[in-house]
Amino acid sequence: MRSQATVCGQLLRQIDLKNHLFGQGLISTRTISGSLSGSKGQKKNARLEALRAQEVAPLSDFLTDSFGRFHDYLRISLTERCNLRCTYCMPEDGVPLTERSHLLTTDEVIRLAGLFSAAGVTKVRLTGGEPLVRADLADIIAGLKTVAGIRSVAITTNGVVLARRLAALQAAGLDALNISLDTLVPAKFELISRRRGFHRVWQGIQTALAAGYDPVKLNCVVMRGVNDEELEDFATLAETYRLDVRFIEYMPFDGNRWNDRKMVPYGEMVERLRRRWPDLERIADRPNDTSKVGRGEIAEAYRAPGWVGQVGFITSMSEHFCGTCNRLRLTADGNLKVCLFGNSEVSLRDALRQGSSDEELMTIVGAAVGRKKKQHAGMLDLAAMKNRPMILIGG
């Protein structure tokens, strides 16, 4: 049986959560008073105020795991659909799509983002599938920008339709964007993505630069024998454009036929770039950034003298950055994933639609975060593990 102090402590955390949400306009005074009404609720006020003087766990504990990592970055997948079929992301025979009624609605996305923000999330990134296939993307961005505490709303896109949609997204408040491009050769683009569209993606990149996004992040998955010979060509873009070119190690997901021989480790990539640009300089970056160089725990990037942009590396396979991970992922069908490579998930959609209260939802989140492992498995073990295809996680 739980002790009286434990029960009171949990009640206080629930009330604190409601007060935070009320302050952000996410719930009404009726919701707050409801938790204290009935069953002699008014008589408990004096006791609760006395207990408040004691040390009570902050809301941030919901997003702090057992290793002390605080998670202030939420990635939300808005759709499982995409207008490309990239080989490393989608299985050759496609994926079974979730019924639309089982995907998170715009209101549900905003409500969940508000709950995470109340507990400390400050950055939200919208992914897919391809997020730009959602007609209401601008509405979602505008809604997220009204949530107190969220300082940055970003998207990751393949850029195919970005040129014609960016103006509306920027007007809605889009703060930053990543564009995926794995080759600078149009014919090879069609080979990798199983679709045409290179010139439209390049137009999207130019549109983003012209709109003032600085930098525009360019994501490139490097695969040996496929596009690794373009490493220097991509780095050359950073000489001229305000681009943060991020080379991503090829990662294993269901259906992408990963093998370690196709994975180019970042140490090899750095060595190759140094042969071309021996005066590359390391640039210190924020500890939670995934893009890095060097072998320290602080994330870094490279820039040569005279460059306008920079290059970096996402080293999930050869040198993981789990120790500073601050990311949580919400899939399009409403499942919370605390690790990109973890196969355990919990449905916030089901809890939401079953009428769970705000504090009950955050209790579910806190339990999931608390179970997060210290680090993911090695790359060969990951290749043998069951996980979603990347397109169903949120790339």
| Domain extents in the chain | 69-392
The beta-carbon contacts of 89-98 under 8 Å, at least 24 apart in sequence, are 89/253, 89/256, 89/389, 89/390, 89/391, 89/395, 90/255, 90/256, 90/389, 90/390, 90/391, 91/254, 91/255, 91/256, 91/389, 92/255, 93/255, 95/255, 95/389, 95/391, 95/392, 98/332, 98/333
Higher pLDDT, 38 or 277: 277
> Length of the chain, please?
395
**Overall average pLDDT of the 244-268 stretch:** 76
How far apart, in Å, are the Cα atoms of 226 and each of 77, 218, 261? 27, 18, 12
199-221 pLDDT per residue, tens:
999 999 999 999 999 999 999 99
pLDDT of 44 strictly over 80: no
Q: Please give the average per-residue pLDDT across 45-55, as a whole number.
A: 49
Q: Tokens 């969220």 map to which residue?
A: 150
pLDDT digits (tens, 9 = 90+) for 67-125: 999 999 999 999 998 888 878 777 776 678 889 999 999 999 999 999 999 999 999 99
State residue 322's pLDDT score.
Answer: 77
What is d(CA 153, CA 278) in angstroms, rounded to the nearest whole number?
36
Q: pTM of this prediction?
A: 0.78
pLDDT for position 55:
45
pLDDT one-digit tens code per residue, 334-373: 999 998 666 778 999 999 999 999 999 999 999 999 988 8
- Yes or no: domain 69-392 corresponds to CATH 3.20.20.140: no
- Going by C-beta distance under 8 Å and a sequence separation of 6 or more, which residues neighbour residue 369? 62, 63, 64, 65, 71, 328, 338
